[in-house]
Structure 1
């Protein structure tokens, strides 16, 4: 425990310092390398050039703190976690390259699938369950990437999820995995010092893909020995917010006849803000919701609740998403079946006018 606390403190401090350093360097070199800074645009919420290298600091702080035990001999990670760290680093590099110069969905999916396959193979899953695990890891990885659309939202949800999964790992005696998740939560906390509204730096694809990959892979590794029903119930509860956000976006864009990969202000965070919540309040609400899902996931994982408890939770989430679907988020375009036009919104409320289109 003392070593875990020291590693978490080191991750928080290192990430906070690196984030500020990378922010300053990105702003200084933004003219030489345009990819270092996310500039305002028609589909962006921010109004000034903002670096998106925060993910580099999160990945570096997490990897450095997690592997420090290898040099001291106090916290050996084991081959399972070692594989996860190696492929997570590859995913972080993929995200950084995508930040600097967009790679396209095909290249991203190839690398993510290969990394997820390495985790599934190392966990000893069979062909069928391993394939399902790969699909789930890739989905949740990109769901966290999509959630990174409002100041403080993704970092808060991810930190809460990491803490919940770390508790699972501690109870099971998997100290290496628990340490990784513990320092990831600390690194995200250090990043949030700079990303809380008004954000001075963003995670970017590097940080969101790295974080989503580590959390989804850890969830799979922790449930390899559970029954299918318990596994499904627990992982759905742990990823409640990101799963709901992605489902809402896909349904909304499909109904509006918009391209699924076209960014817009149609996420849960944007809809809550259009209903009057502040950006900070939105992050808090999403964090509290993630906490509820995490507690349910913990109770299901340890057999203190039956997996069927997810059903009423799912019904409540679907009702909430149905209400959020009614919030207007598209100025003009197509709704319902392709080919139908919607009327241009007139007299938008002040809170809605203040929100531009986000990158995701």
Structure 2
């Protein structure tokens, strides 16, 4: 317990410091996300990955908080996926390369002895989809980090219920590292998570869920897995439906994610993140309750129904895919001359 608190505190402070330190090198090296109105450096994810691996490695090496069977391999695979994401941040890899690398990493960490081969294949597919869906959450300042913190605490609670102490400590370290990163990522963000950090977080959290649910029946496991990642799944579903309806390429970036549409409905950047963070907390809480057996798996149907309803409403509203262009002073004066003429 004491080591978990000390490790989380160290992770929070180190991530906050490293995120600040990495900002200047990212700007000088041109490792930027140019989707925003301002260039956003993308080495914040590297800070989260480095701190998580360092703190967890110290606990394993000192044997004060050993990770446990399979958890070390999970962290190694997540770090490898993060490395692939870092390459994507620097050189813009194709999505198919990221998918292939995530598939290999997921296939390596799934506990087939407990899931069986068919269940293991489903788990691999889920880890890949969840990792990419979480990467999609990195479309607004603070969103991916906020959802990641909430989800990490939820999955950590499930791991603690299964007496997986090493995995629970690792997830608390991830949550603390993301919190330290959020000090620089809250709107207006000074540094971003990037593919490195978002893929790492999504892969680690989804793999940890598979570890905690291995050996359980498929139906309740699906309910828990969905609840623990409902916001990421809803965002991915919204993007797929909206781009399909608009006949736009699925893999092309665009401002059609959850936070984008909430902002066009009148919410502030901070307000949209707080709302989605609250939604994530609610769904994660249901997932933890179902996992602990304090409520039935049918409770997940309410979460699924709410997610589907929100997605359908946002799609049917047909809010514009592109935000309105700002009106310049020249355009305003020209319009006034036309009206006065």
- Shorter-chain TM range is over 0.9
* C-alpha distance after superposition, 1:294-340 (max 9, x if no partner): 110011101111111222322222222121111413259xxxxxxxx
* C-alpha distance after superposition, 1:169-192 (max 9, x if no partner): 112210110011000000000000
Q: Matched residues in 2 for 1:242 and 1:13: separation?
A: 27
Q: Matched residues in 1 for 2:202 and 2:295: separation?
A: 26
How do 1:41-80 residues align onto structure 2 when only pairs under 5 Å count?
Answer: 44=35, 46-80=36-70
Q: 1:312 to 1:50 in 2, by over 3 A?
A: closer
Q: Matched residues in 2 for 1:265 and 1:291: separation?
A: 24
Task: Classify the secondary structure of the residue corresponding to 2:64.
Answer: coil
> Is the contact made by 1:123 and 1:224 (CA closer than 8 Å) also made in structure 2?
no
Q: 1:106 to 1:347 in 2, by over 3 A?
A: closer
- Which residue in 1 is equivalent to 2:18? 18
Q: Matched residues in 2 for 1:48 and 1:314: separation?
A: 36
Q: Matched residues in 2 for 1:316 and 1:293: separation?
A: 10
Task: Classify the secondary structure of the residue corresponding to 1:222.
Answer: helix
User: Of the candidates 66, 81, 87, which is equivalent to residue 77 of structure 2?
Assistant: 87
> Is the contact made by 2:262 and 2:272 (CA closer than 8 Å) also made in structure 1?
yes
User: Of the candidates 166, 189, 192, which is equivalent to residue 176 of structure 1?
Assistant: 166
- Which residue in 1 is equivalent to 2:187? 197
Task: Classify the secondary structure of the residue corresponding to 2:195.
Answer: helix
- Which residue in 2 is equivalent to 1:243? 233
> Normalised by the size of structure 1, how large is the TM-score?
0.87
Q: Matched residues in 2 for 1:346 and 1:208: separation?
A: 29
Between 282-291 and 119-128, the greater mean CA deviation after superposition: 119-128
Q: Matched residues in 2 for 1:109 and 1:135: separation?
A: 10
Q: CA deviation at 1:23?
A: 0.2
- Which residue in 2 is equivalent to 1:330? 321
Mapped pair 1:97 → 2:87: yes
Between 113-122 and 58-67, the greater mean CA deviation after superposition: 113-122
Alpha-carbon RMSD: 1.7
- Which residue in 2 is equivalent to 1:3? 3
> Is the contact made by 2:19 and 2:44 (CA closer than 8 Å) also made in structure 1?
yes
> Is the contact made by 2:111 and 2:211 (CA closer than 8 Å) also made in structure 1?
no
User: Of the candidates 127, 132, 139, which is equivalent to residue 137 of structure 1?
Assistant: 127
> Is the contact made by 2:228 and 2:287 (CA closer than 8 Å) also made in structure 1?
yes
Q: Matched residues in 2 for 1:95 and 1:312: separation?
A: 34
Q: Matched residues in 2 for 1:53 and 1:309: separation?
A: 39
> Normalised by the size of structure 2, how large is the TM-score?
0.92
Q: Matched residues in 2 for 1:250 and 1:138: separation?
A: 16
User: Of the candidates 150, 155, 158, which is equivalent to residue 148 of structure 2?
Assistant: 158
Q: CA deviation at 1:122?
A: 6.1
Between 99-108 and 202-211, the greater mean CA deviation after superposition: 99-108
Q: Matched residues in 1 for 2:260 and 2:309: separation?
A: 18
- Which residue in 1 is equivalent to 2:247? 257
Q: 1:57 to 1:331 in 2, by over 3 A?
A: closer
Structure having the higher helix fraction is 2
Q: Matched residues in 2 for 1:122 and 1:181: separation?
A: 22
Q: Matched residues in 2 for 1:59 and 1:283: separation?
A: 23
Q: 1:331 to 1:72 in 2, by over 3 A?
A: closer
Q: CA deviation at 1:223?
A: 0.4
User: Of the candidates 201, 205, 222, which is equivalent to residue 211 of structure 1?
Assistant: 201
> Is the contact made by 2:254 and 2:322 (CA closer than 8 Å) also made in structure 1?
no
Q: Matched residues in 2 for 1:82 and 1:232: separation?
A: 25
Figure out how many residues of one structure are paired with residues of the other and give that number. 326
> Is the contact made by 1:69 and 1:76 (CA closer than 8 Å) also made in structure 2?
yes
* C-alpha distance after superposition, 1:187-211 (max 9, x if no partner): 0000000000000000000000000
- Which residue in 1 is equivalent to 2:268? 278
Q: 1:347 to 1:113 in 2, by over 3 A?
A: closer
